[in-house]
Structure 1
Amino acid sequence: MSPSRTVKPSPPEVLFKTGSKVFELERILRRRGHGEQHFLAVRRQPGREPVPVFLQALSLRRGEAFLSREPRARLQETLALSRLLEHPRIARLYGGHEVDDMLYLEWEHVPGYTLDDVAMLPLVYVHSYSEAFLVHVGLQLASLLAFLHGKTDARGMPLGFVHRDLHPQGLRFGPEGALMLTDLGDVFSRLPGRAPSSITRPHGEVYYGAPEVLFGEGADARSDLFSLGLILLELATSLHLYSLPRALMGDLEARLTDADAKRVFQGMMVAAQAGQGSGEYADVVMHAATYRPEDLESLMFRLSPGLRAILHRLLRRERTERYATAEDLEVDLRAHAARLGGHYGGAEAAAEFQRALAATAPVLSAFQMDVGAFPPGSVLHLPTPAA
């Protein structure tokens, strides 16, 4: 009988080294346009405990980085923003590391699940989160936006912060039921010396952009509130306003007025200049220009009238018809929470999510193989078994 052999685990992949620090790859989270990548990594230093970190990698190669802010200027601006926006529910930016042709922004790693994972669970088995859970999430997001939008300088003058990229992948649902913002990469501000984008371009994840952003008309605080509304709608219904069931492009085009068509054309021109004029972008812009209140109502028919009214106001196409401020939204959400009755906070939200996770576990493997819904960056992703 031959002696048993001990199989040594593969050594960790080293992303880069700088000084005494070594950054080992834990998981590739996602890749975005123009050379941007996101990683979960471990920072190791002699004599110190390993620290999990989130890395945002920006390409310094010409031709990939030129469409957005110059990466080094973006790092300096984001560092300044992170110092101004210190908050227990906003991830900290530790600094940056330039290695070869890449610039790595090193962020605090926030434990928990992305809000994208939270929203995907109901698809695995027939399940809906309670309205108390939805209101809790809405209040958490409204509170974060109120903090961001309300920041002033030392003289008390508004700094005009607009997030411009609020989406479920950039939000973490923690073990205590609190939401944390994990990315400030596209925040607009009136900071002195701010490095502007090299050309006008749409910002953020296309599927969570407000119509005016997709049309190339710029963003303000009400644009962030629209993105919040899209997140809540998806969490509540597992459906998306920019992917209407059975909506054919021909049907949408028939709805276009001349004014709408001009806005769609303008949005496509701006997107094309920024290298984003894909067929997918065209579909989203068309939906943004043509959806109607009755379309929104058809997605929300299972929700209570009170929550439907809040979502309708968040998701008006014209920004002047939306909530003016995040504080206004908080007032209505708190009133709806009172109508629901009973105390519901972080502990209750965490427990509800854990129940959903436990109910999902028995069918998660089969669902992943059949549908492939959870991408490799998700903590819920199950690798395809080797043949």
Structure 2
Amino acid sequence: MSSPPERQSAKPVILFSSGDTSYELIRYLGSCSNGEVLLARRRYADVVGGSVIIKRLQDPSNAMTRARLLEEFKLVLQLDHPCIAQVHLLRLQDGAPHLVMEHVEGLSVESLLNFAAMRGQPLPENLAAYVAGEVADALSHAHSQKDFNGRPLSVIHRDISPRNIRLGVHGRVKITDFAVAHSQLEGRLATVGALLKGDIAYSCPEYLLLQPLDGRADLFSLGVVLLEMVTGRHLLDLPEVEQAMRQAGSANAFQSSLMAEEETWAPVAEMSMRMERFRPEYVEIATRGLSTPMRDIIVRALRRDPAERFQSGLELRDALWDFLGGQGRCFGPREAQREIALVRAEAIRRNGGAQLPEEDYPSVPPGMTLRSKPRT
């Protein structure tokens, strides 16, 4: 993703400096659950360095949001995996914490799904299996983390969605944004009441019922992403779910009491109703056109009962890697890079040769959040 040309007369906006390194603003990217997101570049004296993502609190006086940003920083520092975007620095500037993170130049799975919809064809199974397998491997690492005393941290990302899975320009996969993750880190903030965090369109059934969660919640979310990649359909937008919703009445008292921290493509009460009406057999219908091994993986990942799903990220990763091995060829970053280029080229061709926007972080007005919508 290329940066826009700079105006020669414009004076660089330096956000802050740390030692010999300055951070120059490139552009405002949008809002997130605990602040606003900026794209910046490092500067070392007169040498321009690489780009980074900076989260900055919109309201420095908000103690809870400040604590959340610190919690995200402490948590991601515990994680060391090539498929998890790293954090570099937490800096207090003008009373507002700034979190400096790795910038994964490329595009999100959200953008890739939009390209697939534009070309009128889902993503290839091998590309989807590669992406999901890398994410499952990273989740296995996060879920298995322990504190300095050897006690499980019980990390749950809670926002595995197309928006938070990025594909680098060389085909590498990265999970981003642990802002709403659950963990047993000392001093963490517990969610109060019926407030749901993250993109609830990719949540598991037990989360929408406010039941206890473990790492299998993230695996269900990854299953929703995998289904969407290979079928072009979102789990809660399947025809059978739509049919069941037409026969549904009003939301009950519990569903009406739910609140979501982020906007999504339907009110939170309706999302809860859709999940209540979702049945595993609907997934079996939606995946009829897939290969048997891929279909088996998705059906198992999307079981309502956590005990019937993959029990660990490692187990799901191995199933996806076995699937790729069964295709008779190796599939890695180079192959992913090639497939992504083909999807994008076909989307351009289907749209009359019009160039697709290179910008993968669309700006949104302050106070609004980026959200996913069904692409059907």
- Tell me which residue corresponds to 2:290: 303
- Tell me which residue corresponds to 1:269: 257
What per-residue deviation string (whole Å, max 9, x for no partner) do you get for residues 231-253 of structure 1?
A: 1111111210122348558x427
**1:365 shift after superposition:** 7.3
Residue 81 (structure 1) aligned to one of 64, 75, 78: 75
AA at the equivalent of 1:54: I
**5+ residue gaps, structure 1:** 1-6, 379-387
What CA RMSD, in Å, does the superposition of the two structures yield over aligned residues? 3.4
Q: For 1:70-149, list aligned pairs within 5 A.
A: 70-100=64-94, 102-149=96-143
TM-score norm. by structure 2 comes to: 0.82
- Tell me which residue corresponds to 2:26: 26
AA at the equivalent of 2:306: R
Residue 323 (structure 2) aligned to one of 313, 327, 336: 336
Cα distance in 1 between the residues matched to 2:35 and 2:320: 36
Cα distance in 1 between the residues matched to 2:305 and 2:239: 23
**5+ residue gaps, structure 2:** 1-5, 365-376
Cα distance in 2 between the residues matched to 1:278 and 1:235: 18
DSSP-derived class of the 2:48 partner: coil
Using a 3 Å threshold, how does the CA distance of structure 1 residues 375 and 154 change in structure 2: closer, same or farther? closer
AA at the equivalent of 1:376: P
Q: For 1:1-387, list aligned pairs within 5 A.
A: 11=10, 14=13, 16-17=15-16, 23-32=23-32, 36-60=35-59, 65=62, 70-100=64-94, 102-199=96-193, 201-245=195-239, 248=242, 251-252=244-245, 254=247, 265-271=253-259, 280-364=267-351, 376=362
Cα distance in 1 between the residues matched to 2:360 and 2:82: 28
Using a 3 Å threshold, how does the CA distance of structure 1 residues 18 and 156 change in structure 2: closer, same or farther? closer
AA at the equivalent of 1:41: A
Using a 3 Å threshold, how does the CA distance of structure 1 residues 92 and 374 change in structure 2: closer, same or farther? closer
Q: Please tell me whether the aligned partners of residues 241 and 287 of structure 1 are also in contact (alpha carbons under 8 angstroms).
A: no
Q: Please tell me whether the aligned partners of residues 138 and 232 of structure 1 are also in contact (alpha carbons under 8 angstroms).
A: yes
**1:363 shift after superposition:** 4.3
Deviates more, 1:41-50 or 1:156-165: 41-50
**1:368 shift after superposition:** 8.7
AA at the equivalent of 2:160: L
TM-score norm. by structure 1 comes to: 0.79
Cα distance in 1 between the residues matched to 2:300 and 2:354: 35
Using a 3 Å threshold, how does the CA distance of structure 1 residues 131 and 277 change in structure 2: closer, same or farther? closer
Cα distance in 1 between the residues matched to 2:69 and 2:7: 39
DSSP-derived class of the 2:222 partner: helix
What per-residue deviation string (whole Å, max 9, x for no partner) do you get for residues 206-232 of structure 1?
A: 211112112222431111001100111
Using a 3 Å threshold, how does the CA distance of structure 1 residues 51 and 340 change in structure 2: closer, same or farther? closer
**1:255 shift after superposition:** 6.0
**1:364 shift after superposition:** 4.8
DSSP-derived class of the 1:188 partner: coil
**1:343 shift after superposition:** 1.9
Q: Please tell me whether the aligned partners of residues 60 and 66 of structure 2 are also in contact (alpha carbons under 8 angstroms).
A: no
What per-residue deviation string (whole Å, max 9, x for no partner) do you get for residues 267-303 of structure 1?
A: 441317x697995222221111101233223322321
Cα distance in 2 between the residues matched to 1:58 and 1:346: 34
DSSP-derived class of the 2:184 partner: coil
Cα distance in 2 between the residues matched to 1:56 and 1:242: 31
Q: Please tell me whether the aligned partners of residues 28 and 376 of structure 1 are also in contact (alpha carbons under 8 angstroms).
A: no
Q: Please tell me whether the aligned partners of residues 14 and 22 of structure 1 are also in contact (alpha carbons under 8 angstroms).
A: no
DSSP-derived class of the 1:355 partner: helix
Using a 3 Å threshold, how does the CA distance of structure 1 residues 17 and 361 change in structure 2: closer, same or farther? same
Q: Please tell me whether the aligned partners of residues 18 and 97 of structure 1 are also in contact (alpha carbons under 8 angstroms).
A: no
Q: Please tell me whether the aligned partners of residues 208 and 227 of structure 1 are also in contact (alpha carbons under 8 angstroms).
A: yes
- Higher RCO (Cα < 8 Å, 6 or more apart): 2
Cα distance in 1 between the residues matched to 2:340 and 2:99: 31
How many pairs were matched up?
A: 357
DSSP-derived class of the 1:60 partner: coil
Cα distance in 1 between the residues matched to 2:328 and 2:58: 50
DSSP-derived class of the 2:67 partner: helix
Using a 3 Å threshold, how does the CA distance of structure 1 residues 234 and 374 change in structure 2: closer, same or farther? farther
What per-residue deviation string (whole Å, max 9, x for no partner) do you get for residues 174-206 of structure 1?
A: 233221122221221112232334555212112
AA at the equivalent of 2:112: V
